[in-house]
Every structure is written in C-alpha cells, then in structure tokens.
Amino acid sequence: KGERYTVSPYKLLINDGNYYLLSFDDKYKKMRTYRVDRMRDVRLTGQPRDGVAEFAEIDLRDYTKRTFSMFGGKTERVEMRFINPLLHTAIDRFGTTDVRYSVVDETHFSVTANVDVSDQFFGWLLGFGKRVKLLGPPSVIEKFRSYMDKVREMYL
C-alpha cells in the first residue's frame, strides 16, 4: 500500500523461490522478513543499525525450517502424521535438529517440530490433502479448523 518501513537489514534469505530480507523492524521492535521483490524506492538512511542483540539470538537454520513462506506466527511444538512416502519431504522441511520422527504404523510416521503457526503453515498442510494430518496440540488444531471454515465459507 506504499507504506514506508524503516528497518535494519541483517540477512538475505531465499525461501520457496523468493528472496526475503531479514531485518529488525523499528516500528515493531522485532526481527521480521520482507519480500525483496515487493520493495520499492529503497533508501539508505545513514542511521545506526538496531536489533544487534535480537539478530544474535536467531538460529537461521531453525528460523527457516519453522517459518512458512517467511510468515511469522506464534512458535508452537506441533505433531503431524504423514504417509511414509513423504519422509524426505518432512526432513527437507523440518530437518533433524530438535525434531522427533516416530513410526506410527506400517504406512505412517509422525513428526513433532517447532513451527511458526500461520495461515501459510495451514495452507502447506492442506496441500497434502489426506496424506498429512495435524495431531496436536488441540489449540493449533482448533486454529486449523477455523482457518478451513473461513476458506469453506467463501464457496457456500
């Protein structure tokens, strides 16, 4: 909408084929990501960079694994059940650090991982149809149901 943002840039990231600038946002006083291809009229302000301590606390590998399309949300530990052929997809998405993989039965496995819960995460889940099921926690399942209800209402 043409709004101007003042940020302190830290890292250029690529996710799902898009470039993002990881920056400390002066207005929100936290690290945020911005799509580079949507930036217009970028200017250097000459002001000192803010957010040094916040950037130092970020584990970039973990950040990119738990963030879907660079949309943030509340980080929650979620459990999902996948069909076995999606094991490599799950490993590519969540990695192996601080993630628990378990055999559910002869055709399924579960993944428990930290995820930034957002509409983009829910859209990612829906892309798998019945091949993935969100198992918990109950609060995230309820948010997922609400998300699906909002989408379904558009087609009534």
Residue 46 CA from chain centroid, whole number: 31
Residue 71: per-residue pLDDT: 56
**pLDDT in 10s for each residue of the chain, 156 residues:** 678 889 999 998 887 677 888 999 988 898 888 888 888 889 999 999 999 999 998 888 777 766 655 556 788 999 999 999 999 999 888 888 889 999 999 999 999 999 989 998 999 999 999 999 999 999 999 999 999 999 999 999
At residue 117's C-alpha, the angle toward residues 142 and 55, to 5°, is 155
Residue 154 CA from chain centroid, whole number: 25
Residue 100: per-residue pLDDT: 96
Query: Using CA atoms, how far apart are residues 105 and 31, in angstroms rounded to an integer?
Result: 40
pTM comes to 0.61
Side-by-side strand order, sheet with 108-117: 100-105, 108-117, 74-83, 132-136
Residue 102: per-residue pLDDT: 97
